[in-house]
Amino acid sequence: MTSTVTLEKNNNIAVIAINNPPVNALSQSVRQGIVEALTAAENDADIAAVVLACEGRTFIAGADISEFGKPPLEPHLPDVLQRLQQSSKPVIAALQGTVLGGGFETALSCHFRVALQGTKVGLPEVNLGLIPGSGGTQLLPRVVGVETALQMITSCKQEKVEKLVDTDAIDQIVDDNLLHAAIDFAKTVVSEQRAAVAVPERSIAADSFVADIFDQYRKTAAKRARGQTAPQLAIDSVENAVKLPFDEALAKEREMFLSCRASSQSRAMRHAFFAERQVAKLEGIDKSVQPLDINEVAIIGAGTMGQGIAMCFASAGLQVRLLELSEDNLQTGLASIYTRYQQNVKRGRMSEQQLTDCMDRIQGTCEYDDLAGVDLVVEAAFENLQVKQQIFSTLDKVCKPEALLATNTSYLDIDQIATATSRPEKVLGMHFFSPANIMKLLEVVRADKTSDETLVTAMQLGRKIRKISVAVGVCYGFVGNRMYACYGREANMLLLEGASPEQIDKAMQAWGMAMGPLAVNDMSGIDIAYKARRENPDLPDDPCYFRAADLMVESGRLGQKTSAGFYQYDEDGKKHADASVLEVFTAEAKRLGVEQREISEQEIQDRLVFALINEGARILNEGIAARAGDIDAIWLNGYGFPRFRGGPMCYAQELGLKNVVSRIEQFREQLGDRYWQPAERLVTLAETDGTLV
């Protein structure tokens, strides 16, 4: 045995127990321990069956992430699972918690499975740019059917065992005493002499699925996971389970898995996985700093953003005070929140009782004095420095001294906002992204005088409301919007230079972005960024800077809300190209002396993406973001950056920093050095063969 695996006898039943906290990951010692314990059980004539169980709250939850990117150590997981499948004695898996990836493949390699009520199982490898590589695509369709296997593998969705109880994936569900129940089940298997048929020996009936199911899933995956190779390979591998003998299909699955593991897409998606976990670690803060208790939160402003923020806190079980100065606006906001919750009920995301509970937690008010007892205020008012300073001055007077005061500003100087209070150490930014109740990202902005305690409290609260919270520093636009301004700047420049809105948007979608920048601008309202630029103290003295967007606003074309922006919109919201905007841009280019020309898709993509990379490197140099991975987490979760590229910083590293600097220098020669000067960090790292991520 090993330090993580033990073997005990319960009469004629052997119990192999894994104890590798916190999630019983399949480390080398666990794999080795399973093989040794199984061998010992098989060699013991007194043992009739084996139970494979785990200490703690979960069965094996997947691979050991500390081994990611390192040479695999023997015994390899496929060999361990083959030993389980070929065991001379029945093996019963005792499942609890979250049984994922290699953990689920381990369970499927046992002959029987007993599960605790509420246990979840899944094969989430596609989220890492991989396919199940130890038999998952071959074992799962044999026990749940082809369609369910395809759905689970391509969606990465975890399923409760209750949903699978009518399949061969789960033999028994119990509500308590899992280990005792699994041992009793093993005794029944022995006493009844049940045939212990390994999953690989089971066949898939040709009439158990529709003939074109694989093509259906390929089309769906092509839309939902545009540009990703792993979902398509996973579908191919499940199809092999139907078409080929098990051993041959298994060998092909392994080939595909290894190919995925060596790919740039998987490297990027694994980087994203780790980056999103690393953001929670705050550099330079002593671990002894403890967060404050936050039980009641106030939101200033019942507009769309305020509504979404209120829903975030109410859904997490916190009491919410929603403040609007107008009773009509308050009631409109509360009604809108109710409607948004109702939509979740209709979609099966919450129950009627949960809706009622959430609405009960939200209390509306038009009086600042009603906020006297709250622990935190999040201001979501009009994006104007003077307005926000006035609000914070009022909050400072009415809120208890220990209350934290946060602003949801997207751009403004939080240091300046904090000067309106007598508690600058308790002031910070909590920048939600719209729609706030859906978007995963939260930028937690540390101002100059924000205390460690305040920052730690906000970061923990972000996790409580299920956000990916990233700590950033103060500058205009912080990290995400500061970079987005560079991205949008190049899109606007390209419009003057002769590219059309649809050409730019199609190029960026083809590259992998969820939406093109101009369609996004129309959706959010072109006037929003227009007004924000007026608040920028460092606005470039450049008549071409966002001139295309300014022209749209000045002509009343604000986007979807006016049925016209960079595109024209039907009553049903469908967008169409509008030749008239091209005429406007052509005339303005002539006035400004900008030469129009044919622009390639490659140039569009490079200019927008390399502008992001260059600004991200500057942000790192200034210490606005602590890590390149923090920037990537922001762009992956707030701006629709393609996950299979890992984020702007990861993508730069994948391209090679020397290549990145060279391309930026090409743009400097072509377009001038106002915006195209390589960031110092990029140049230094390129010269020294250093790494960004």
- Positions annotated as catalytic residues are 105, 125
- Tokens, residue 326: 């107008």
Name the β-bridge partners of 329. none
Distance, CA of 68 to CA of 25 (rounded, Å): 12
- Unique residue bearing structure tokens 């061969």: 168
CA–CA dist 515, 363 (Å, integer)? 36
The rounded distance, in Å, linking the Cα atoms of 256 and 251 is 9
Are residues 128 and 216 in contact, defined by beta-carbon separation less than 8 angstroms? no
The C-alpha angle 416, 417, 420, rounded to 5 degrees, equals: 100
> CB of 625 within 8 A of CB of 631?
yes
- Strand blocks (E) in 384-520: 404-407, 427-432, 441-446, 468-473
For 225, phi then psi, to 5°, come to -120, 55
Closest CA to 618 of 662, 659, 677: 677
Using alpha carbons, list the distances in angstroms from residue 451 to 61, 144, 291, 295, 402: 37, 53, 11, 20, 12
- Output phi, psi for 202, to 5 deg: -85, 150
Task: Take residue 218 and report the two structure tokens written for it.
Answer: 């390929």
Rounded CA gap, 278 and 281, in Å? 6
The torsion of the CA quartet 40, 45, 49, 52, rounded to 10 degrees, works out to: -10
Strand-pair partners of 89: none
- Residue 281 DSSP label: P
| Structure tokens belonging to residue 27 | 């480390």
Q: Is the peptide bond before 435 cis (omega within 30 degrees of 0)?
A: yes
DSSP per-residue codes, 83-139: HHHT-SS-EEEEE-SEEETHHHHHHHHSSEEEEETT-EEE--GGGGT----SSHHHH
Sheet containing 159-160: order of strands: 98-100, 120-122, 159-160
> Residue 569 has which token pair?
């919109």
Q: Which residue has the tokens 């996004």?
A: 520
d(Cα 436, Cα 410) in Å, to the nearest integer?
13
Do the strands 376-379 and 296-300 form a parallel or antiparallel pair, or are they unpaired? parallel
* Phi and psi angles of residue 406, each rounded to the nearest 5 degrees, phi first: -120, 145
| 427: CB partners within 8 A, 6+ apart | 392, 404, 405, 406, 407, 414, 417, 418, 421, 447, 449, 450, 454
Tokens of 271: 């980087």
Q: How does 654-680 read in b/e, with b if 16+ C-beta sit within 10 Å?
A: bbebeebbebbeebeeeeeeebbebbe
Give the angle subtended at the CA of 280 by the CAs of 23 and 316, to the nearest 5°: 80
Which DSSP helix (H) or strand (E) runs through 322?
Answer: strand 319-323
Single-letter residue type at 537: P
Q: Which residues contact 172 (CB under 8 A, 6 or more apart)?
A: 113, 114, 115, 181, 185
The C-alpha atoms of residue 507 and residue 601 are separated, in whole angstroms, by 5
Contact 455, 285 (CB under 8 A): yes
